[in-house]
Amino acid sequence: MTHTLNVIVGCSGKGCAVRKECWAKGQAKRRKGKCKDDRCYKFIPHDHPERLEEPWHVKKPSRIGLNFSGETFDIAFKDRAFLMWFGLCGMMRRASWHTFVVLTKQPQNIPKDENFPLPNNLWLGVSVNRKEDLWRIDRLRETSAFVKFVSFEPLQEDLSEVNLDGVNWVIIGAQTRPNMQPKTEWVESLITQCRERNIPIFMKENLKGYPSLLHEYP
């Protein structure tokens, strides 16, 4: 990512395999005092609609990580989910020269509306850490996102055969704080499956023991 934009901050942790080691939650605590809203520090799900205009001030086309410090589709927003998503999509359409990257662990809460196509500059992804998370890829396939991706970070177990039909990009990574490296055979299995489908692969820098890391994009 060249930039990040956190219109939504915080997460309830529903369905999260790494709640205790959450990178975003740790970042929120380290940034105490830099946000006037105490909910940021406490990682309570909330939104900052005043930030929706920020992409307009970045004139150079950029890849923007959207809500990386929160869960865009958190269950906490269920009563306002469509309205919030409508606002975010409107912002992405207006800032059409940027690419926005959204990653979720709660794709079941993505608002559905056949008359509301997603912006063409949206890359939408799901996190999959273990076998019990694989259903998220099925939900991702149901969306009309221009680029659909799966983040296997941190990869916590052997996933065997994964249905990657309709997936345009795969990210593979380890866990940090504490460091937990996925077994080489787990990573190699995913790489082989991606190669069979011509899916580009991005290996995160936290993966250790590899002579070179793949940094491919869709």
- Measured CA to CA, the distance from residue 41 to residue 53 in angstroms comes to 23
pLDDT category at 13 given cuts 50, 70, 90 is confident
- Whether the CA torsion 85, 218, 158, 209 is positive or negative: it is negative
Residue 113 has pLDDT above 70, yes or no: yes
Averaged over 101-126, what is the pLDDT? 92
Q: Is residue 218 in some structural domain?
A: no
Give yes or no for a contact between 88 and 7, defined as CB atoms under 8 angstroms apart.
yes
pLDDT of 72 reads 96
Q: Which domain holds residue 148?
A: 3-203
- DSSP string over 131-197: GGGTHHHHHHHTS--SEEEEEETT--S---S---TT--EEEE--BTTTTBPPPHHHHHHHHHHHHHH
Residue 7, domain member (yes or no) = yes
Residue 19 lies in a domain: yes
Percent of the chain with pLDDT over 70: 93
In the chain, how many domains are there? 1
What are the backbone dihedrals phi and psi of residue 183, each rounded to the nearest 5 degrees, phi first? -65, 145
215 in a structural domain? no
Tokens coding 168: 């345009």
> To the nearest whole number, what is the mean pLDDT of the chain?
91
Does residue 20 register a pLDDT over 80? no
- Residue 35 · residue 74 · CB < 8 Å: no
Return d(Cα 99, Cα 160) in angstroms, integer: 32
**How high is the pLDDT of residue 41?**
76
Q: Count other C-beta atoms under 10 Å from residue 95's C-beta.
A: 23
Residue 34 scores a pLDDT above 70: no
216 within some domain: no
78 is a domain residue: yes
What pLDDT sits at residue 33? 60
For tokens 């995160």, what's the residue? 204
Of the two residues 14 and 69, the one the predictor is more confident about is: 69
Evaluate whether residue 64 is within a structural domain.
yes
Residue 211, in any domain of the structure: no
